[in-house]
């Protein structure tokens, strides 16, 4: 039996002996006995409370939530360039028919010559006098920078356009690049002429044959 259990027996024992004492003369003060018993019980309970360790709830550490990084997606859109229909590139078309001076023709320096190109219209647009051929690059050889067409040219018709040249003083192959332009000043059909400038004395000299007698 534990110490706490026998404390509760004190009131019971007192209650058992009080009737026995009530029959005779007794100097025992019943109220004093109850008061002493109650004080004894209270004192024992206080001691028991002091000696008995109280269970203390252990405070659990509070988990601090880890902040979730926020990602901001930045979408960049680059505008796609729109294709612009160019009349000269899509509708104006030509075909080469011929030229009056063949490529690789030889000339001496300072020679004037004329080249006539024949071009056929194979597109749906009609060529007018606003169309022209223009020098692009290479050897211009004193020619005009641009020569306009002198007639309207419908589909499947041909036009002749001529350019006057003068060969330079320098010798060698000379290439002159040209292009057919439409009314919007757009080049849509390039072509060229290539000639060779040679030394005048070399082209006209007569070879001399020397015969050496055999002894």
Domain ranges of the chain: 3-48, 90-201
Per the CATH hierarchy, to which homologous superfamily does domain 90-201 belong?
A: Immunoglobulins (2.60.40.10)
Q: Where are the beta strands (DSSP E) in the chain?
A: 94-99, 105-107, 112-121, 132-138, 146-148, 158-166, 172-181, 187-197
Distances (CA, A) of 4 to 9, 15, 56: 10, 19, 22
Q: 0.85 cut: is pTM over it?
A: no
Predicted pLDDT of residue 42: 60
Q: Give tens-digit pLDDT for 167-211.
A: 999 999 999 999 999 999 999 999 999 999 999 886 554 444 545
At residue 57, the 3 state secondary structure works out as: coil
The count of residues in the chain is: 215
């Amino acid at each position: 039996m534990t110490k706490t259990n026998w404390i509760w027996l004190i009131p019971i024992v007192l209650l058992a002996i009080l009737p026995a004492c009530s029959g005779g003369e007794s100097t025992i003060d019943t109220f004093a006995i109850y008061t002493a018993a109650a004080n004894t019980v209270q004192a024992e309970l206080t001691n028991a409370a002091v000696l008995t360790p109280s269970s203390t709830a252990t405070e659990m550490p509070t988990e601090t939530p880890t902040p979730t990084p926020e990602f901001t997606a930045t979408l960049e859109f680059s505008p796609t360039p729109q294709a612009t229909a160019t009349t000269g590139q899509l509708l104006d078309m030509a075909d080469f028919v011929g030229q009056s001076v063949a490529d690789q023709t030889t000339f001496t320096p300072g020679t004037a010559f004329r080249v006539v190109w024949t071009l056929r219209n194979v597109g749906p647009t009609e060529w007018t006098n606003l169309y022209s051929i223009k020098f692009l690059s290479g050897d211009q050889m004193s020619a005009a920078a641009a020569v306009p067409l002198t007639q309207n040219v419908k589909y499947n018709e041909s036009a002749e356009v001529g350019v006057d040249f003068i060969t330079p003083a320098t010798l060698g192959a000379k290439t002159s690049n040209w292009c057919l332009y439409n009314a919007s000043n757009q080049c849509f059909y390039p072509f060229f002429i290539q000639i060779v400038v040679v030394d005048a004395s070399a082209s006209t000299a007569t070879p001399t044959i020397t015969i050496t007698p055999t002894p």
